[in-house]
Amino acid sequence: MASTYSTNLKIELQATGENSGTWGTITNTNLGTALEQAIVGYGNPNFATDANLTLTYTDTNAAQAARALVLNVTSTGSLSTTRELVVPTIQKQYIVQNNTSGSQSITVKTSGGTGITVPNGRKAHLYVDGTNVIQMFDFVDINGGAIDGTSIGAASASTGAFTTLTASTPIGVASGGTGLSSGTSGGVLAFTASGTLASSSALALNALVVGGGAGAAPITITTGTGVLTALGVNTGSAGAFTTNNATNTFTAAQTFRAANAVRSEAASTQDAVVVAGRAGGTNSYAVTLTPATLSGNQTVTIPNETFTVGFRNIPQSGSAKTANYDLVVGDVGKFIELGASGAITIPDATFAAGDVLSIFNNTSSGATITCTITTAYIAGTDVDKASVTLATRGVATILFLSGTVCVISGNVS
C-alpha cells in the first residue's frame, strides 16, 4: 500500500512495511520540513501579475508556501485594486503580511468561502476553519498599562478618526465639522507639548465651554467651581436664555422663546407665572395667584380671557329618536330625546365607570328601556331589572358603575 498524506499539513503517512531503508529519511522530512514549516515557517507568495493569486497545495512533505505559518505577500508590480490571495480549504492558521506594491489591500480567502481583507502594509492573524477565512481575534482586553504610538488614525469627516493631542495638532471632527484647533479663535483647544491643556485655551483647565445656538453665547462652567454661570443669551433664537448669577435663578423678563414656554416675572412679582403665546404668536398671558402667598386652597384668575368651566348645558345626542335605539359611547354626557314610539336599549360591556347620560321621553305614553346590560338597578332599590318604563314627559339619568352595572334614576318604574 502506498503512502497517503494528511489533509491539513500534507504530512506523509507511510503504510505498514513500506519504504524499507528510506522510512527514516521520510520521517525526518515530515518532522524537519513539513511540521517545522507549519509551526514557524516563512513563506513568500508573490503576485507575479496584477491578478488574483492561488497558492498551490500538493501531496508532498517538501517545503511549499501554503503550509507556512507566516505569509509575506509581495508583488512583482503594483496592484491596481484589491486582489484575492486564495489559500487551501483546510484547517490552518496564517499570519499574513501585505507587503505588495501599489498601496492596495488584499483579501485572503478560500476558493469557495469568504475571507478577510488586509490593508496594505498591515499584518493580520487569520484562521482557515475548513470553509472560510476568519479573524483569529475579535476581543482584546486592555486592563492597565498603556498603548504605545503617536497617532490613532487621521482626522477625517467621513470616518470620524482623529489624531493625538500635541501643541500643534488640531482635533478633527466628523460629519464635515470645522475642528477645534490651537491658535485660532472660537472653540479653541490649545495643548502643551505634553498634550495637556494650555492655560490660554478657551477650554481652560477645569472649565467647559460649549458653543450656543445662532446669536447665542456659549454655555460656561467656571474654573474650579463647576457652577453654571451662562447658558446662552436671550436673543430671540429658540430656547435661548441667560441666568442672573451663580445660583442659576431667573431675573426679570428672561423669556424662553420656544412656543408655550414659561418665564419668571420680576423679583417684585415672583408669585406670577407668564405663559408665552401660541406657536408663532407674541402675546403672553399672566396667571395671577390670589392671594400671592402659596398656602392652602388658592384661586387662579386668568384676566382678559373668557373660558367655559364645567357643564353649563347638556348637549343633545343627535336628533330625536323615532325608532328603537341602542345607546352608544358617543351619548355620554348628553341627553337622548324620544320623539315617537320606540324603545331604548342599554347594551352590556360598552360603557365605563363614571359615564353618565340622560333620556327624555317626549311622547304622550310610557317608553320601554330594555336592560341587556348584566345588572341594572332603579335608584333606591335592590332588584336587577331586565327593563324599566320611562313615564310620559319623564327624564331618566343612567350612571354606569362599570361596563356591566348601571343605576337608573328619575321617572322610571
At 118-128, the pLDDT tens digits run: 999 999 999 99
Domain ranges of the chain: 1-138, 162-205, 211-292, 325-410
- Please give the residue that has the higher pLDDT: either 134 or 192: 134
- pTM of the shown model: 0.41
Residue 11: pLDDT band (50, 70, 90) is very high
Continuous segment of H or E residues that includes residue 28: helix 23-29
pLDDT at residue 232 greater than cutoff 60: no
Nearest to 285 by CA among 267, 304, 270: 304
What are the strands, taking DSSP E only, across 265-355? 273-275, 285-290, 299-301, 325-326, 335-338, 343-346
Structurally, at CATH architecture level, domain 325-410 sits in Sandwich (2.60)
pLDDT tens, 24-42? 999 999 999 999 999 999 9
pLDDT tens, 44-64? 999 999 999 999 999 999 999
What are the strands, taking DSSP E only, across 279-366? 285-290, 299-301, 325-326, 335-338, 343-346, 356-361
pLDDT at residue 131 greater than cutoff 60: yes
Asked if 406 contacts 375 with a C-beta cutoff of 8 angstroms, the reply is yes
